[in-house]
Structures are given as C-alpha cells and as structure tokens.
Amino acid sequence: MSSSMQTPRLTAKGRATRDRIVAAAAAVMYEQGVTGSSTEEILQAAQVSSPSQLYHYFGDKKSLVQAVIEYQTERVLGFQRTLLSRLDSFEALEAWRDAVVQAQLARNCQGGCPIGSLAAELSDADPQARARLVAGYAQWEQAIRDGLASMQQRGELHADADTGALALALLTALQGGLLMTQTRRDTVALETVLNAVIDRIRCHASG
C-alpha cells in the first residue's frame, strides 16, 4: 500500500509531521539498520514526543519500513533523475557513471546504497518489504532500459541488442560496485565494473 493510500486525508501539518518521521526513520535505519533502530531513537530524531503520533501515521514498524523504502527509492532515483532521463548515449552513460562515482567519493565511500542496504537486511525477512524493493529496483532498471532503447531506435545500437539484459547488467554491476566501495573504501571496483558493462554495451554499437 502506498503512503498516499495509507494517509489520504492528512492536513498540511499532519503531512509535514509524517514526512519528518519518515525522513528521520530513513536516516536512523541507514545508520543502524532496521532491526537496530528503536522507536525511541526514531521519535527523538524526528523531534516527536509521543509514540502515539508515530502509530497515528503508521500502524506498526513494518508500515514505517514500507514508507522508508519508498522514501529512499525516491531519494536515490531523484538524485540521478536528470541523468537517468537522458541516459541515451555513450556520453550520457559515462556522465552518469562519473556522477555515481563522485557521489561515493563525496561521502568518503561510506554507507553504500540506501536501497541496497535495506534489500540486504529485509529481503529474506519481510516479503512485503522485498516486494517494495523489487518495485524500486524495477523503476531504476526501466530508466536505464529506456535510454538504451532510445539509442537502439536511433540506430546507434544493433537491433538484436537485448536492452533489457544490458540494463539489468548495468544496475547489477552498480549495486555490486557500491557494496565493494563500502567495503574497500575506494571506488576502484565500482569504476572497473561500470566501465566493463559500458564497454559491453559498446560492443552492440552500430557503425
């Protein structure tokens, strides 16, 4: 159930309070994990005094986690949206790669992907969360696929190029590269794997 379906009649003040709780929960869960985050810590971070306010907007912690997944998906894709919306040339693919790498360098290669972190913790434990994460990844994959399909339609990629498989490969490479970046505290693996997949896409270039 989407957040808009959960809270259809919020006042502006209520919406602001709910959004503040979700943002605070996302930050706490990103730092400490979902299971390591207490309601008290989330309330303190959101500057909300009463647990009843949290349960007014979210029936339980699982509902809050669903909202956090939606929030982090929008945040991650929002950061990349401008580039993803025009990911339809090799120059654009390289610019996207560079932006991803620079974002990791700016955070000292710490933290990993917010969506990936949630996926690692929740996929085996919470089927509803896993379904929401799959949907989030699907948005990301589709944005990449749309760009490759545009290249194919313009004749820049061969007609037999499987844009779906290439998009999935690029997203999977990104997720693995981000995990390696978090572990190694450098972007070497991330750059290497993204370059490898972009080079693979180049193999399908026409002309």
99, 161 contact by CB (below 8 A): no
Instruction: Check whether 41 has a pLDDT greater than 90.
Output: yes
Q: Is 180 within the bounds of a domain? A: yes
Q: Is 160 within the bounds of a domain? A: yes
Q: Is 38 within the bounds of a domain? A: yes
* pLDDT (tens digit per residue) in 94-128: 999 999 999 999 999 998 999 999 999 999 999 99
Return the pLDDT at 150. 95
- 152 or 11, greater pLDDT: 152
Residue 123: other Cβ atoms inside 10 A: 14
Residues 6+ positions from 4 with CB-CB distance below 8 Å: none
Range 25-33 average pLDDT: 95
Letter for the amino acid at 20? R
Q: Is 31 within the bounds of a domain? A: yes
Q: Is 56 within the bounds of a domain? A: yes
Instruction: Check whether 43 has a pLDDT greater than 50.
Output: yes
User: Residue 53 — pLDDT band, cuts 50, 70, 90?
Assistant: confident
Residue 195: other Cβ atoms inside 10 A: 13
CATH number of the domain bearing residue 190: 1.10.357.10
Q: Please name every residue paired with 157 in a beta bridge, in sequence order, or none if there are none.
A: 205
Per-chain mean pLDDT for the chain: 91
Q: Residue 205 carries which DSSP code? A: B
User: Structural domain tally of the chain?
Assistant: 1
Q: Is 207 within the bounds of a domain? A: no
Residue 178: other Cβ atoms inside 10 A: 25
Domain of residue 58, residue span: 3-202
